[in-house]
Amino acid sequence: MDSPEKYAPLAASAFCMLIGLWILVSTWKAYLTNQQSLRWPTAAGVITISQEAQRAGNVSDQMRHETQRASSEQEYATDTIAQIAYTYTVQGKEYTGWTLGSFVAMNVTQALLEKYPKGKAVQVSYNPDNPQQCVVEPTGAANMMSVLLGTSVGIVFFVLAAVPVVYVFAPTMFEGWLKMAQGLVGYKAK
C-alpha cells in the first residue's frame, strides 16, 4: 500500500487546480455578463449617492502622513474612489445599484463624480432574470487585459498543478511528455 506522504502533495496540487479553474470560470463569467449587459432592458434611475470614499485596503493614515512629510514636494496618487449609487424600479419594485460599468483607467474618480452628480437621471440596464444585477454604462467593453491576465493565471495554475497529479497517476504518460518536451528543445539525455 502506498504511503499517505505520497499523496499529500497531490492534495495541494488538486487545490491549486481548483483555484485555476475558479479563476478561469470567474474571468469568463464576468466577461460574458459584460457582453450580455448590452442586450438587457433599461429602467429609469436616479443617482442617490455621489461622493469620494476611501479605497479599501489603502495605506494607513499614519504611513501616508509620514510619507508625505518626508517628501512634501512629491505628488502622490490619491487613494479615493468614486462611490456612486442609484435607485431604479422594475415591475414596481425599487432596487439600488452600485455598478457603473467597466473602466480601463484607474484614476477616474473626479470625472465620474462630475458625470454622475447626486439627483441626476440615468438609464439603468438590468438583468431581466435578476433585476438586482445592473449597470449604468453597459459598454460590453471589458478590460481585455484583465480577461487575458485572468485566463493566463488560471491556465498556469491549472497546468502547473496538474503536473504532479499526472506524474503520480500516469508516470509513463509523464515520461512521454518529458521526452517530447526534450525533443522540442533539442535536449539529449546522457
Q: Which of 3-17, 44-58, 82-96, 162-176 has the highest mean pLDDT?
A: 82-96
The pairing of beta strand 121-127 with beta strand 42-54: antiparallel
Domain boundaries, given as residue ranges, for the chain: 1-39+139-190, 41-137
Query: Is pLDDT of 23 > 60?
Result: yes
Report which secondary-structure segment, H or E, holds 45.
strand 42-54
Q: How many CB atoms lie within 10 A of CB 75?
A: 8
- Spatial distance between the Cα atoms of 20 and 152, rounded to a whole number of angstroms: 9
| Lowest pLDDT segment from 11-15, 54-58, 167-171 | 54-58
- Angle, helices 144-169 vs 171-185, to 10°: value is 120
The pairing of beta strand 130-135 with beta strand 80-90: unpaired
Radius of gyration of the chain (CA): 25
Q: How many CB atoms lie within 10 A of CB 124?
A: 25
pLDDT digits (tens, 9 = 90+) for 128-158: 999 999 988 887 655 666 777 888 888 888 8
Q: What is the pTM of this model?
A: 0.57
Query: Is pLDDT of 98 > 60?
Result: yes
Residue 176 or residue 127, greater confidence: 127
Average pLDDT over residues 26-44: 86
Average pLDDT over residues 174-183: 73
- Sheet strands side by side (includes 121-127): 93-97, 80-90, 42-54, 121-127, 130-135
